[in-house]
Structure 1
Amino acid sequence: MNREQISMIAHTDHPIKSPLADDSVGRLLEHGLPRGDERVLDLGCGTAEWLLRALTTRPHLHAEGVDVSAVALTQARQAAKRLGVDDRLVLHHQEAADFVPSQQFDLVISVGATHAFDGLLPTLAAAREHLAPGGRVLIGESFWDRTPSPAALEMFGDLDDLATTVDRVVAAGWTPVHGHVSSRSELDAYEWACWGSLASWALDHPADPARAQVLETANAQRSQWLHGYRDSFGFLCLVLRRTSD
């Protein structure tokens, strides 16, 4: 079973692929979409969960998503059709960094996908190119909540702390108009959901050739979380406007 298939199973019970509760997602969208008739772009949309939630609650919204995963985009199209919002959603199968839109957008989303642009500030630079005057960016990024262990550093690299992360964003010409730091409850719920879904799948498919691999992955990832990064990892979402538009 490849990495993408494992990720799909892991996020069965947590389709927002970030440590955010549903009410936190809703509040972030409210601050990112104050009118309700905006044009929205998600760079690295995956199964387009952010876009689907925005579209189902805002009948005048139009959205586009970009992702490299054909499997994820197929799932997104099926969900959009099931929800009756497929006529307002356009999906592009390509690298987010190579996307050249035909229009500008009122909200650009990139939550948990800054790796597609090699980091937080390059992601914001790319978002700026797609943003209409007065538009907003909703971005999600990891940070170190406290000094990480060597194992955590090896897994996630040289992240900044919360204050430094926000300072870098401001220095790059952005002003936060809303923010959300994931709580311990949100962080734990996400990890338990991911590795629990994998373990459940393995136990429910005893004859599947991939059972041992999936169960081993669930156990290894849960152990890395509990012994490696649980006490130091944090996640921040910001709604941003350009300081000088």
Structure 2
Amino acid sequence: MDLPRIFTIRESSHRIHNPLTPAKLAALGQALHLAPGTRALDLASGSGEMLCTWARDHGISGTGVDVSTVFTSQARARATELGVDGQVDFIHADASGYVADDPVDLVACVGATWIADGVAGTAELLRRSLRPGGLILIGEPYWRRTPPDQEAVEACHAASETDFKLLPELIEQFGDLGYDVVEMMLADQDSWDRYRAAQWLNLRRWLDRNPDDELAAEVRAELTTEPARYARYGREYLGWGVFALMSR
């Protein structure tokens, strides 16, 4: 049970595995007015940057669950580095279907709604761990504008145009599911650049160190084609944001 190697190679230098910059992640924590002692559950927690920095900056506590052994190890190391290992812990496990033993104040899935087959399923999974009146955080892509053709759709790592919604439609979907959107933090094009361009450097440095690895051809192909595909399509058509929800 783990992520494919290509994913951890691609994001080997990343602390945040989505297009939020550290400044935007910090701004989101501030915007939510997190009280000391807030208890959180983060499903698909990656390298733990959200829980660790919010534990340091706001005094929250919580648990992260992620399928990647590499990222879980990095999250534990980050907690130790920031002196919050007594406040947060990280579990290597499949986050799909994971429910907290006791209801928490904040439950999140930031950028991995595939764990419950999309937004609706993920919102329902998160709700099962949430105390009444608590906050749900969902990170999700959306179309900045409608892609012109299937080539553009696939270049944005979607199988169909219907995989993502335009931003107003995504917000309306949350409402249809019975939630108020009470805050949001959106990636901008510079946020995307920082996230995606760092992947290319990670790929190139890995390739230089591992030219004979069984994944070398796949890494070379991605590094050859992805920068231009991103500049032509992803940067123009794909948005991403974290949305804070409260049940109506």
Query: Common fold, TM-score beyond 0.5?
Result: yes
Indicate whether 1:50 and 2:50 are aligned: yes
Q: Please state whether the residue corresponding to 1:201 is helix, strand or coil.
A: helix
Larger mean Cα displacement after TM superposition, 164-173 or 177-186:
177-186
8 Å CA contact 2:34, 2:60 repeated in 1: no
Amino acid at match of 2:166: D
Q: Say whether residues 1:164 and 2:163 are aligned partners.
A: no
| Cα deviation, residue 231, structure 1 | 1.6
The two structures, once aligned, show a CA RMSD in angstroms of 2.1
Runs of 4 or more off by more than 6 Å in structure 1? none
Shift of 1:99: 1.3
In the TM superposition, what is the alpha-carbon distance from 1:226 to its structure 2 partner?
2.6
User: Which residue pairs with 1:65 in the alignment?
Assistant: 64
Partner of 2:98: 99
Q: Which residue does the alignment assign to 1:188?
A: 193
TM-score by length of 1: 0.88
| More displaced 10-residue stretch of structure 1: 229-238 or 211-220 | 211-220
The answer on whether the counterparts of 2:146 and 2:237 sit within 8 Å (CA) in structure 1 is yes
Paired residue type of 1:229: G
Amino acid at match of 1:151: E
Within the alignment, does 1:218 sit opposite 2:223 as a pair?
Answer: yes
Please say if residues 137 and 245 of structure 2, whose CA atoms lie closer than 8 Å, have aligned partners that are also in contact.
yes
CA distance in 2, matches of 1:168, 1:177: 14
Q: Which digits, 9 at most, give the CA deviation of each residue in 1:87-136, with x for residues without a partner?
A: 22222222212213211111111111111111111111111111112211
Cα offset for 1:178?
Answer: 1.1
Deviations 1:39-94 (A, max 9, x none): 01101112212111112223x42110111222221222222223322222222222
Q: Which structure would you say has the larger RCO, counting Cα contacts within 8 Å and 6 or more residues apart? A: 1
2:140 counterpart residue number = 141
Q: Residues 160 and 113 of structure 1: is their aligned pair in 2 closer, same or farther, counting only changes over 3 Å?
A: same
1:183 Cα deviation from its structure 2 partner: 1.2
Structure 1 counterpart of 2:174, one-letter code: V
Q: CA deviation at 1:213?
A: 4.1
Question: C-alpha separation between the residues in 2 aligned to 1:147 and 1:66?
Answer: 34
Per the alignment, residue 31 of structure 1 pairs with 31
CA distance in 1, matches of 2:97, 2:137: 20
Counterparts of 1:138 and 1:207 in 2: how far apart (Å)?
40
Give the structure-2-normalised TM-score. Answer: 0.87
- The Cα of 1:208 is off from its aligned counterpart by 5.2
Question: Which residue does 1:174 correspond to in 2?
Answer: 179
Equivalent residues of 1:13, 1:197 under 8 A apart: yes
Of 229, 232, 235 in structure 1, the residue corresponding to residue 237 of structure 2 is: 232
Q: 1:168–1:207: structure 2 CA closer, same or farther, 3 Å change rule?
A: closer
C-alpha distance in structure 2 between counterparts of 1:232 and 1:115, whole Å: 20
- Percent identity for Structure 1 against Structure 2: 30
Give the distance between the partners of 1:57 and 1:208, measured in 2 at CA.
44
- Note if contact 1:202-1:212 (Cα within 8 Å) is conserved in structure 2: no
Judging changes above 3 Å, is the alpha-carbon distance between structure 1 residues 173 and 196 closer, same or farther for their aligned structure 2 residues? same
The alignment partner of 1:235 has SS state of strand
Which amino acid in the other structure matches residue 16 of structure 1? I
Q: Retained in 2: the 8 A contact 1:33–1:107?
A: no
Structure 1, residues 161-207: CA drift from partner, whole Å, max 9, x if none? 0100000101111111111221111122221111222123324x265
The residue that corresponds to 1:41 in the other structure is 41
Q: Distance in 2 between matches of 1:179 and 1:61?
A: 20
5+ residue gaps, structure 1, are none
For structure 2, the 5+ residue unaligned runs are none
- Taking the aligned partners of 1:151 and 1:53, their CA distance within structure 2 comes to 38
